[in-house]
Amino acid sequence: MREVLSPDARRAIVEVARGDAPADLLLANGRIVNVHSGEIHDAHLAIYDGRIVGFGEYEAREILDLQGQHVCPGLIDAHVHIESSMVTVPEFARAIIPRGTTAVVTDPHEIANVLGVPGIRYMLESSEGLPLHVFVMASSCVPATHMETSGARLDAKDLESLFDHPRVIGLAEVMNFPGVYLGAPEVLAKIDAAGARPVDGHAPGLSGLPLNAYAAAGIGSEHEATDLEEAREKLRLGFQIFIREGTTARNLDALLPLVSPENAANCSLCTDDRHPADLLEEGHIDALIRMAIERDLNPVTAIQMATINTARYFGLRGRGAIAPGYRADLIVFDGFEDFRPRKVFSDGELVAEDGEYLGPRPQAPPHPGAGGAGGGVHVAWDELSFAVPSDGSKRARIIEAVPGQIVTGQTIEALPAADGLAVADPERDILKIAVIERHNATGNIGLGFVRGFGLKRGAIASTVAHDNHNIVIVGTDDDDMLAAARTVAASGGGQAVVAGGQTLASVPLSIAGLMSELPLEEVRDRVEAMTQAARQLGGTLPDPLMTMSFLALAVIPQLKITDLGLVDVAEFRLVPLFED
């Protein structure tokens, strides 16, 4: 995707580049991390009208002597769901710009699953006028599967309407991988709608001939590889490998050994989902670069994986490198021993310095669900029941939560019963889990049991439940589960920890039940308060709300749950709670 300059702008840049007119800014005496040549070299760097015009001795209206500091391109996140930061796009930008990220490629399928095309357009509108360049991949799987109820449905025609926007650059992760390799017409139609634009993948564990078919359909990337051999097979088939290090899914340590001088150009870095605490305390893509360097990856290679490699895959011409004609999205930093941006430039403007955001702080526009017009919580409360009739002769499928991963396991075990109903068994760490449809008050509720949370009493609830974003609840008893559901409903969406009918901690997520209008720091503090409250109830997970949010994700193995019931992801079908 080539940016088009007006003839006058092009003539002016050429005039400055050849030295016949002054630059706006000269970054003097810098050490350039050159992602094109793969070297670090000394140079003066001239900037005019938001673009780099060249290396060398230039006159400039402003000169900044870097005194040997390093300069590299602004970082690009290859795949992120901004909604998972739980704040608006301007707040997200305020957090990551000081960390050196100047561009992100986002899939807004979280809000799309709640609000459809208006949700995607809201994210585009929210990102106007920011120093963070937000590129959008049109969400391909709304809903993610036929085994859940979302708030919207997008077909190929809906997606076509989005591709007219200049910042909608491709088709987002195609999670319905069985639909691709089996040739489902409605899935292939969405790939067709993307035309020559990049199409991102999402095929955890897929291998062999089905993976060949998935690649042959035109899928170009993969961020769901979790072990080395899986990533190697996908790399051999031509996928751009996005090495992910998010809040819940952390795969950098497992996948970094894949990267070599011969294949590094086909590897990128992404976060996928990062929670407020990690954004504020660990960082963003800068944290991944520090990790990679600590694990002995060549520092220039690490920078390439966070800049030019990603820009080339997505066709973002003029971004991701330091060279004449490229956007002046730049980071100034001391060195690679502790990679931390000192100055961050976006389009040649200083927008962060020493961790402080200096850019504009526009307010996010009113969201499509404001005023009760959709995107809140609509539940058929009178029809709601958490009762699970027991069959003492049968054993139940139990979801096994895995700390630090979005995959789950499953076991088959007997459940205790009371008054003819199957109940939780906190002593064995078996809790009840429910998913309540909240978009259209259909009365749907999926019921099951889960191990791994450790709660001895109380319940936790959230309207963040990938990807359908219904209400997901884990608890020890039905009364607290209902109280938790009503708590999140009262704020138009959110998360809460409840015990004895009392709310111990909560965060309101009034924007589609996904994002808060509060500052990122306050959201971080509220999330931490919920984690602490869960621990007081016996919880053992480091981030129980995040872990719970992925238990409804019916495209990640092994056993998941939606408002329609338990899903065996390997068989891609709904299965009964009790064994036949």
| DSSP letters spanning 155-189 | -HHHHHHHTTSTTEEEEEEE--HHHHHTT-HHHHH
Please count the other Cβ atoms lying within 10 Å of the Cβ belonging to residue 253: 12
Rounded distance between C-alpha atoms, residue 11 and residue 17, angstroms = 10
Which residue stretches of 245-331 are H helix?
Answer: 252-255, 276-281, 285-294, 299-305, 308-314
Quote the pLDDT of residue 374: 53
Which of the pair, 70 or 247, is modelled with greater confidence? 70
Rounded distance between C-alpha atoms, residue 541 and residue 475, angstroms = 14
Q: Which helix (H) or strand (E) holds 73?
A: strand 70-73
Rounded distance between C-alpha atoms, residue 136 and residue 171, angstroms = 9
Q: Is 83 helix (H, G, I), strand (E, B) or coil?
A: helix
Please choose, from the candidates 325, 333, 380, 326, the residue with its C-alpha nearest in 3D space to the C-alpha of residue 352: 333
List, for residues 145-200, the tens digit of each pLDDT value.
Answer: 889 999 999 999 999 999 999 999 999 999 989 899 999 999 999 999 999 999 99
Amino acid at 146: H
Angle at 375 between CA 369 and CA 377, to 5 degrees: 125
Q: What is the band of 42 on the pLDDT scale with cuts at 50, 70, 90?
A: very high
Rounded distance between C-alpha atoms, residue 513 and residue 494, angstroms = 6
List, for residues 498-530, the tens digit of each pLDDT value.
Answer: 999 999 999 999 999 999 999 999 999 999 999
Region 108-124 average pLDDT = 95
List, for residues 86-95, the tens digit of each pLDDT value.
Answer: 999 999 999 9
Phi and psi at residue 296, to the nearest 5°: 75, 20
Q: What is the band of 370 on the pLDDT scale with cuts at 50, 70, 90?
A: low
Q: What is the band of 371 on the pLDDT scale with cuts at 50, 70, 90?
A: very low
Region 427-451 average pLDDT = 97
Render the burial of 281-297: b for 16+ CB within 10 Å, e for the rest: ebbbbbbbbbbbbeeeb
Q: What is the band of 392 on the pLDDT scale with cuts at 50, 70, 90?
A: confident
Quote the pLDDT of residue 369: 64
Which of the pair, 406 or 335, is modelled with greater confidence? 335
Quote the pLDDT of residue 2: 52
For residue 556, pLDDT over 90 is answered with: no
**pTM to 2 decimal places:** 0.93
Give CA 446 to chain center in angstroms: 25
Instruction: Enter the tokens of residue 513.
Output: 């039940």
Q: What is the band of 375 on the pLDDT scale with cuts at 50, 70, 90?
A: low
Region 100-119 average pLDDT = 96
Q: Are 455 and 497 in contact (CB under 8 A)?
A: no
Which of the pair, 5 or 500, is modelled with greater confidence? 500
The contacts of residue 225 (CB under 8 Å, 6+ apart) are: 204, 231, 234, 241, 251, 255
For residue 575, pLDDT over 60 is answered with: yes
For residue 549, pLDDT over 80 is answered with: yes
Residue with tokens 């809790």: 431
The bridge status of strand 240-244 relative to strand 221-222 is parallel
List, for residues 455-477, the tens digit of each pLDDT value.
Answer: 999 999 999 999 899 999 999 99
Rounded distance between C-alpha atoms, residue 157 and residue 276, angstroms = 35
Please give the domain boundaries of the chain with CATH numbers for all domains.
73-320 (3.20.20.140), 370-575 (no CATH)
Region 307-328 average pLDDT = 97
Region 21-33 average pLDDT = 98
The mean pLDDT of the chain is 94
For residue 373, pLDDT over 70 is answered with: no
